Amino acid sequence: MDRIKAELVRLKFIMLAVFFLCTKTYIIYKMGFRIQSENFLQEFLLIINPLSSTVLLIGLSLFLGGKSRNIMVIITSLLATCILYFNLIYFRFFSDFLTWPVLFQTSNAQDLQRSITELIKFSDVLLLLDIVILTFLVLKNNIPIYARGKREPVFLLAVTALLFFINISIAQLERPQLLTRAFDREMLVKNIGIMNYHVYDAFIQSQSKAQRVFAESSDIDEVLRYRNENYKEPDPDMNGIANGKNVIVLSLESLQSFVINESLNGEEITPFLNSLIKESYYFDNFYHQTAQGKTSDSEFLVANSLFGRDSGAVFFTHAGNKFNSLPEIFNESGYYTSVMHANNKSFWNRDMMYLSLGYNKFFDINSYDVNEENSIGWGLKDKDFFEQSIDLLKSQPEPYYTKFITLTNHFPFELGEEDKLIEEFDSNSGTLNRYFPTVRYMDHAVEVFFDRLKEEGMYEDSIFILYGDHYGISEYHHRAMSKFLGKEELTPFDHVQLQRVPMIVHIPGQTNEVNHSVSGQIDIKPTIMHLLGMDTKEDIQFGSDLFSPDRQSFAVLRDRSFVTDAFVYTKGSCYLKTDGTETDLENCEPFFEKANLDLDLSDKILYGDLLRFY
Ligand code: GP9
Ligand code: MN
């Protein structure tokens, strides 16, 4: 007991500095970054999350003895304060946290320079208060000088590890998959703290850097050969059919195909989409090909006809790559390109990635009037989102390519009573039960959008691409899902079939056609390009035009499952497409090569940043 007491006395100065820095970090969280919490646990995390990194940083002084130890405490406090302050200045301008790539991006820095005087406040001097006190104490010789303790460094590392473990466990409770999905910088800062976030960011960035360094320009030759072999001529009747028209893309949150043309308690689930399909080209064997990056993966697939990563989110890891994206191609053809989505711009690192993809403008949450009344769940309700978007759409020069991303039909599928147009389902899964009314609501919101476009005379001159971004109901809800589908149980085959999402191409004045060929999000880019009469021969892409007469009916999912006209391959087994019975693996084998080459070559481009050589 006495030894512990003695040790604590020895550590008094260091503990004081830790206390100061943690308090300062918390104050900056609340007053600078204006981080809000929704419950006690989140607030608690906010208070404790600076601890592990602060103890480690200030504790570095334990490796020294004598006078230098106290000086080191002051230096590390100052260093941490600088990091916090850079973030604060950056935040005041961009409402976002620093990332390593941003530090080396000169364009951002120039933006900052111009307004640096506005970003610095006189009261910021207060951030140095602790440093002043610590320095004063040392100068006044109030702090005893100790020799280096042998065991202290080990003790330091153990305490840091323990504190970090406690932090991460609580964070994992609050935000499952926090680190693997890494969707939002604010979320990361809220959960693991700003310093740990910087370390995590450095790790993610270095991972992708390594492969890039070793890539050579000749690496792209194999990809070019593969692309040439797989190029498909467009359908002459469809090629250029939408030339010069505005292109409106709707990314429909968590919409899966199993609700299309179906009803619940005698009520249609998607009456508007069902009627739209009757005047559109509808693809009913179309698959999402996303993984952990969810919406952002689907955006990546659509923009590049390249696959996202099998883990993590390409929007975070490869935002610095060179792409030949759809928005860029549209820009070159004289189009104005934009995204409308009423969420924080940093979510999924969109603000950074959209710069790389070349969008002219991102209408994020700040372009919308969002308040308590018009929000639910993740934010602005879809109907209000579309209504408010009309004026934004009008403000754009024509022709434009604009993508809308809806939000209401997002897990956990919350909806106010007044917006419930159909009843919930009745199963053991609240998630699945609530899914139907939110899908129905989104369907209604899209209807309102179309009505408004017609009223404003903006409908005729546009073509529309609507697709589901990814699944909304995960495997976890299979029991409930089997009840809805009227099946005894769901097999891996059924699971793959549930990865189908609606894909609709609506060209005003064109008649209806249902296309059963197997396809996926990777095919959207060449399809749009050909509809606009753009040449895809020179473009590196892994999909093919959905209208092309000789396209191969095929889709590979990101987990390497694949689907052909006759077979479904998943989890090492081959199934007959007709009835889902398991069949000889030999039947699926001829397609292994294509499935693997599609994914592997696409990955090669991504990890090697090979398009910079093209
Ligand atoms: C958030 C929205 C939802 O902006 O795109 O993201 P998700 O969780 O579906 O990937
Ligand atoms: Mn989504």
| For ligand 1, atom 5: residue with the closest CA | 295
Please determine, for residue 537, whether its predicted confidence score (pLDDT) is greater than 80: yes
Domain 238-547: what homologous superfamily?
Alkaline Phosphatase, subunit A (3.40.720.10)
Task: Say yes or no: CB of residue 381 within 6 Å of ligand 1.
Answer: no
Best CA proximity match to 253, nearest among 174, 341, 367, 366: 341
The CA distance from 398 to 338, in Å, is: 12
| For ligand 1, atom 9: residue with the closest CA | 295
The CA distance from 11 to 423, in Å, is: 62
Query: In this structure, which amino acid lies at residue 413?
Result: F
Listing DSSP states for 492-528 in one string gives HHHHHHTTB--EEEE-TT---EEE-S-EEGGGHHHHH
The CA distance from 529 to 527, in Å, is: 5
Please determine, for residue 182, whether its predicted confidence score (pLDDT) is greater than 60: no
CA atoms within a 13 Å half-sphere pointing along the CA-CB vector of 452: 17
- Give tens-digit pLDDT for 152-181: 999 999 999 999 999 999 998 888 777 766
- Give tens-digit pLDDT for 289-307: 999 889 999 999 999 999 9
pLDDT of 107 reads 46
Question: Quick one: pLDDT band at residue 41, thresholds 50, 70, 90?
Answer: very high
Question: Quick one: pLDDT band at residue 219, thresholds 50, 70, 90?
Answer: very high
346 vs 132, which has greater pLDDT?
132
pTM, entire model: 0.80
Residues assigned a catalytic role = 295
> Given the structure tokens 């191609």, which residue do they identify?
329
Task: Quote the tokens at residue 407.
Answer: 């939000």
- Give tens-digit pLDDT for 305-320: 999 998 778 998 899 9
Kindly list the protein residues that place their beta carbon closer than 5 angstroms to ligand 2, a single-atom ion: 253, 294-295, 469
Cα of 183 vs centre of ligand 1, distance in Å, is: 8
Q: What number of residues does the chain have?
A: 614
The CA distance from 543 to 522, in Å, is: 5
pLDDT of 114 reads 59
So where are the chain's domains? 2-211, 238-547
Cα of 534 vs centre of ligand 1, distance in Å, is: 30
Per cent of the chain over pLDDT 70 is 97
Cα of 467 vs centre of ligand 1, distance in Å, is: 14
Task: Say yes or no: CB of residue 353 within 6 Å of ligand 1.
Answer: no
Task: Quote the tokens at residue 74.
Answer: 């002051």
Atom of ligand 1 nearest to the CA of 343: 4
Which of 187, 295, 470 has the most ligand 1 atoms within 8 A of CB, as the residue to mutate? Answer: 295
Q: Specify the pairing of strand 503-506 against strand 281-283.
A: antiparallel
| For ligand 1, atom 4: residue with the closest CA | 343
- With contact defined as beta carbons under 8 Å apart, do 414 and 434 qualify? yes
Task: Say yes or no: CB of residue 295 within 6 Å of ligand 1.
Answer: yes
Task: Say yes or no: CB of residue 347 within 6 Å of ligand 1.
Answer: yes
Task: Say yes or no: CB of residue 410 within 6 Å of ligand 1.
Answer: yes
Cα of 564 vs centre of ligand 1, distance in Å, is: 29
Helix H or strand E segment including 228:
helix 220-230
| For ligand 1, atom 6: residue with the closest CA | 295
Mean pLDDT, the chain, whole residue set: 93
State the ligand closest to the CA atom of 291: 1
Strands (E), 317-454: 336-340, 361-363, 375-376, 379-380, 400-405
pLDDT of 96 reads 78
Task: Say yes or no: CB of residue 405 within 6 Å of ligand 1.
Answer: yes
Atom of ligand 1 nearest to the CA of 348: 4
Cα of 295 vs centre of ligand 1, distance in Å, is: 5
